[in-house]
Amino acid sequence: MPDKTVEKVATATGEPIPAVATDAGPAATGKPRSLWSDAWHDLRRNPLFLVSAVLIVFLLVMAIWPSLFTSASPRDVENLARDFRQPPQWGHVFGRDWLGFDGQGRSIYARIVYGARASITVGVGVTVCVTILGTIVGMIAGYFGGWIDTLLSRMTDIFLGIPFLLGALVVLNTFEKRSVWVVILALAFLGWTQIARVARGAVITIKQADYVVAAKALGASTTRILMRHILPNALAPIIVVATIALGGYIAAEATLSFLGIGLTEPTVSWGGDVSTGRELLRIAPHVLIIPSVMVSITVLSFLMFGDAVRNALDPKLR
């Protein structure tokens, strides 16, 4: 309970009488929270954020240190005659045969663990690339305006008019061997437009603020204004779009690998395993279902995380 303080006011007779009681808690005298501290205060109390954050941390640990979860190889076959299409052994938790074997006698559990690295690397890598490129294009277009804004906006519209997956199929089809970095660059080449438009709109609003006008009047350089005054205040909507889009890039990689245009061997990919398992749906459905469930859980985790961040950073939603 906050402390109550009672003020004294003098009457005409000189006798003090109690005035209205006021709250004198920490909120009344403390420093106001910034947007980021206020967002973190809300996120810590959001179950959606906590659940998604735990899942994402688990997936990141599995992607970085797969040997912590299994000692089995995702590519080697120990005994094809014994392991061929064997169903999951649910009692052998974290064992090589826990989730069964695929049509080549490889451990599905080991492939799930090692496949997390490719999927998450592609998702994070594409997100970082499109965020940097889109932010730079959007900031330049929004700040300078005029013919620069017109040129960059029309270029953004041209890329935005290209169907994302269809464009990625065309680009990746030109490469015979498609590694993780080839897929990242192909998806980033087509995926920066949304963040560029968001950054442009934020910069157009922020550059009219009093502190930006004052910085210009004091002779601050364009680089200093962009980096010290505009970018920090434009980050919130950019981060929201980037976190939500990350799950979509993971799904895009799985879709491309499923179609045979994504990651190629020897890279272990959940999308590639889904493509392999579709032919065994009636005979050994676990070969298809298990990697599909992992893709769904991963995408859902990042989407929930992005929604929680959006709710915390957007004051209009509160």
pLDDT at residue 264 tops 50: yes
Please name which of 286, 268, 267 lies closest in space to residue 277, comparing C-alpha atoms: 286
Q: What are the C-alpha distances in Å from 188 to residues 179, 198, 246, 249?
A: 14, 16, 11, 9
What are 236's two structure tokens? 């919130």
19 falls within a domain:
no
CA atoms of 104 and 287, how far apart (whole Å): 11
Q: Give the separation between CA 187 and CA 125, rounded to whole angstroms.
A: 10
Residue 63 counted as domain residue = yes
Flag whether 1 is in a domain. Answer: no
> Residue 83 belongs to what domain range?
51-317
Residue 224 maps to a domain:
yes
**In the prediction, which pLDDT does 252 show?**
92
Q: Residue 38 falls within a domain, yes or no?
A: no
What is the mean pLDDT of the segment spanning 271-275?
Answer: 89
The alpha carbon of residue 274 and the mean position of all alpha carbons in its chain are separated, in whole angstroms, by 23
Residue 115 corresponds to which tokens in the numbers above? 């496949």
Distance between CA 211 and CA 232 in Å, rounded?
13
Residue found under tokens 């906050």: 2
What are 170-229's pLDDT values in tens digits?
999 888 888 899 999 999 999 999 999 999 999 999 988 888 889 888 888 888 998 988
Look up the pTM and report it. 0.82
Which tokens in the block code for residue 208?
A: 């009219």
Residues 121-169: tens digit of each pLDDT: 999 999 999 999 999 999 999 999 899 999 999 999 999 999 998 999 9
Q: 245: closest CA among 201, 202, 195?
A: 195
pLDDT at 95: 83
The pLDDT of residue 126 is 95
CATH number, domain containing residue 230: 1.10.3720.10
Task: Give SS3 for 239.
Answer: helix
The total number of structural domains in the chain stands at 1
pLDDT of residue 318: 56
Share in percent of the chain as helix, strand, coil (round to 5) = 65, 5, 30
Whether residue 32 lies inside any domain: the answer is: no
Q: Note whether residue 218 is domain-resident.
A: yes
Please name the helix (run of DSSP H) or strand (run of DSSP E) that holds residue 27, with its range, or none: helix 26-29
Binned at pLDDT 50, 70 and 90, residue 31 comes out as: low
Confidence of residue 92 (pLDDT cuts 50, 70, 90): confident
Residue 188 belongs to a domain? yes
Alpha carbon distances (Å) from 200 to 131, 143, 205, 238: 13, 8, 9, 10
pLDDT band at 10 (very low <50, low <70, confident <90, very high): very low
Query: Helix axis angle, 146-160 relative to 108-144, nearest 10°?
Result: 150
DSSP 8-class letter at 226: I
